[in-house]
Chain A
Amino acid sequence: GAVVSQHPSWVICKSGTSVKIECRSLDFQATTMFWYRQFPKQSLMLMATSNEGSKATYEQGVEKDKFLINHASLTLSTLTVTSAHPEDSSFYICSARDWSGQNYEQYFGPGTRLTVT
């Protein structure tokens, strides 16, 4: 299957600072990427959908000024957590769709563990 990578795999930052997480589709082009958040022992919660070259669409309740998403190319999307606070500590996972003909499969990255101290 297709490969989605994330960097960094884990990050620790101090409260009030910003953190950027990168998501790359390694062997396919992704016009659409998704950002999820996952709390321990819970399912995945969609934060936003990012389309290459346009503004991201945020889910209800997700602060777009806090979670900045940029999808500047067909293989790269970034999530920046601005002015991070301890409650932003979580597992962030990106996902991308690999289109083959008229159908697609959706793949996930390995995730980024963010800890805000």
Chain B
Amino acid sequence: QQQVKQSPQSLIVQKGGISIINCAYENTAFDYFPWYQQFPGKGPALLIAIRPDVSEKKEGRFTISFNKSAKQFSLHIMDSQPGDSATYFCAANRHKLVFGAGTILRVKS
């Protein structure tokens, strides 16, 4: 019940395309859903986060879509750029963050 399932494991997108990463959870008590971007050898950087009272949040090229009834949330990266190539982690929080397994995104130029 504490798991967060993330897919796909890896993703290749053409420059300018849309990258979509999905996550699903079971615990309805989760109250905070952040997405992190991590480059090799660096700590995760908070990209964008959402709370369950909101269905969508947009910050620049990054959008979280949140479906409370389906217990799913996704990250959309619009106009993907080679500099977006990184590992992305979704997470969900009750008293501590539970992380998805990560998605390796490669944006081809």
Chain A interface residues toward B at CB < 8 A: 1, 4, 6, 34, 42-44, 46, 49, 91, 93, 95, 103-111, 113
Contacts and interface: CB of A to CB of B under 8 A. Distances in A.
- What interface size band does chain B fall in? 20 to 34
Q: Which 3 pairs between the two chains have the least Cβ-Cβ distance?
A: A108-B43, A111-B43, A110-B43
A108 B46 contact: yes
Given A44-B44, A113-B41, A106 B34 contact: yes
A111 B42 contact: yes
B96 A107 contact: no
A111 B41 contact: yes
Contact of B46 (A1, A42, A49, A93): A1
13 contacts: A6-B43, A42-B102, A43-B89, A43-B100, A44-B89, A46-B97, A49-B96, A91-B41, A93-B44, A95-B97, A106-B34, A106-B93, A108-B36
B15 interface: no
A103 B57 CA distance: 16
B97 A34 contact: yes
Interface in B33-90: 34, 36, 41-46, 49, 51, 89
Contact of B99 (A1, A43, A111, A113): A43
B43 A106 contact: no
A51 B85 CA distance: 35
A106 B51 contact: no
Contacts of A103: 51
Pick the most buried of A4, A6, A34, A107: most chain B CB atoms within 10 A of its CB.
A107
Contacts of A44: 44, 89, 97, 99
Nearest to A93: B43
B102 A108 contact: no
B101 interface: yes
A109 B66 CA distance: 27
A77 to B, nearest CB: 15
